[in-house]
Amino acid sequence: MVITTAAPPRDEGTALARLRERIERVAPTINRGHLERDRRAVFSREVWEELAGTGLFGSFLPEEVGGQACSLTDLMHVVEHLGYTVRDAGLNFSAATHLASTGFALNGFASSELRRRHLPTIATGAAIGCHAITEPEAGSDVLAMATTGRTDGDHIELNGLKTYVTNGPVADLAVVYVRTSDTPGPLGLSAVLVPRGTPGADFGPALDKSTLRTSPFGRLRLTGCRVPRANVIGAAGTGFLILDRVMTWEILIAFVINVGEMRHRLDRVVKRVETRRQFGRPLAEFQSVRDTVVEMHMATQNARRALHAAGEAVAAGHRATAETAMAKILTSEANIRTAQAAVELFGGEGVLTDTGMEIGVRDALGGPIYSGSNAVQRQKIAKALGL
């Protein structure tokens, strides 16, 4: 019996099947030069436009703004295929951030006017989105954020510093989470849309980092930044609720992309151990090698099942906080383990940059940190257990 590493076939609608086909068609163009872009830490707007041209960014948005109104679960299957076919993990992460941080936040919570004005360009990818959450003195402790938003007539004035803003250096729109009242706890937070070019909003340059180098992370400094009160997403004081929902989407989308990347990695490893010979026989005949490949396969499948189960629960209207947290931990840790195992099975070639294996280790390193650290995820699970 042959065990396939491919995703199980799904009864997808024609529109989603065409979207998958368009991703497959542009993948060779996107993949060309991705290792060089990683070396230079370059975000390519041209490559972004290639991906945007598939219609991915509008896939879950309403048809009236140019979307296809697909479900969360369908979107997850599509972006898993993205991870399998596109080798630029930084681009994939930027895409996930764009989809969740701005597309989902605006579509799910913004006023009809904000949706009408911004969703069409989000759907086409003409406007790149980001969200600004983390601060230098408040990482995973969201409630400790110090960035403020004070009402001044028909405007709200923002002051503070955000960091590790994915897509920030290239973003056209930022959803910024700020404290809008002195009310302690979550009810004091709000989400505010800040377009690039707004006076007092300084989108800083990309930070130099070892992981996901083609996805730019930066700082956003807000100094007397005035935006219309109409740019508040949802009601004032609902920022924590919005962020909770957005981060659930970000985890489900970003990490199911990782599953696609893990499946592709496994396929490469299987081919490698079947064809590479040592001591007069294929590597696949060595028990230790077979054990390692089996562990990679099980880790990938366990992560995949956990994520899709969480996605189905969320799509059905459940909070699924613990399920999403467990899926995030399983996938982020399995991604690192399988990437390291792949490098070892490729031997000396595994650490050569041209092989495209060592980049998998580097790109996996941030997984336990971003989208809510794994330590925070474990606390959510503990709370669900009543601890």
Res 9: pLDDT:
47
Under DSSP, the state recorded for 262 is: H
Is the pLDDT at 204 greater than 80, yes or no? yes
Structure tokens at 239: 């920022």
Whole-number percent of the chain with pLDDT over 70: 97
Q: Which residue out of 50, 80, 135, 250 is catalytically annotated?
A: 250
- The pLDDT of residue 3 is above 70: no
Active site residue 113: no
Domains present along the chain, CATH in parentheses: 14-128 (1.10.540.10), 130-237 (2.40.110.10), 240-384 (1.20.140.10)
- pLDDT beyond 60 at 4: no
The answer to whether 103 and 122 are in contact (CB under 8 A) is yes
Per-residue pLDDT tens over the stretch 261-304: 999 999 999 999 999 989 999 999 999 999 999 999 999 999 99
Written as one letter, the residue type at 275 is T
Tell me how long the chain is: 387
Terminal CA-CA length for the chain: 45
**DSSP label of 369:** T
Exposure string of 347-357, with b = 16+ CB inside 10 Å and e = fewer, is: eeebeeeebbb
**Phi/psi at 277 (5° precision):** -110, 140
- Residue 139, pLDDT > 90, answer no
R_g of the chain computed on alpha carbons: 21
Residue 12 pLDDT exceeds 70: no
| pLDDT at 151 exceeding the cut of 80 | yes
Return the DSSP state at 386.
T
pLDDT of residue 1: 31
State how far the Cα of 288 lies from the Cα of 295, in Å rounded to an integer: 11
Q: Please write the tens of the pLDDT for every residue from 349-387.
A: 999 999 999 999 999 999 999 999 999 999 999 999 999
The pLDDT value given to residue 14: 81
Q: What is the pLDDT of residues 220-258, one digit of tens each?
A: 999 999 999 999 999 999 999 999 999 999 999 999 999
Helix, strand, coil abundance in the chain, percent, nearest 5: 55, 15, 30
Q: What pTM does this model have? A: 0.95
Tens digits of residue pLDDT in 158-177: 999 999 999 999 999 999 99
Q: How many CB atoms lie within 10 A of CB 20?
A: 19
Return d(Cα 381, Cα 65) in angstroms, integer.
37
- Of residues 13, 206, 242, the one with CA closest to residue 94: 206
What crossing angle do the helices spanning 239-275 and 321-345 adopt, rounded to 10°? Answer: 30
Contact 99, 128 (CB under 8 A): no
Q: Give the residue with greater pLDDT, 66 vs 202.
A: 202
* Joined tokens for residue 170: 């290239």
pLDDT at 2: 43
What is the distance between the alpha carbons of residues 48 and 171, in angstroms, rounded to a whole number? Answer: 12
Mean pLDDT (the chain) is 95
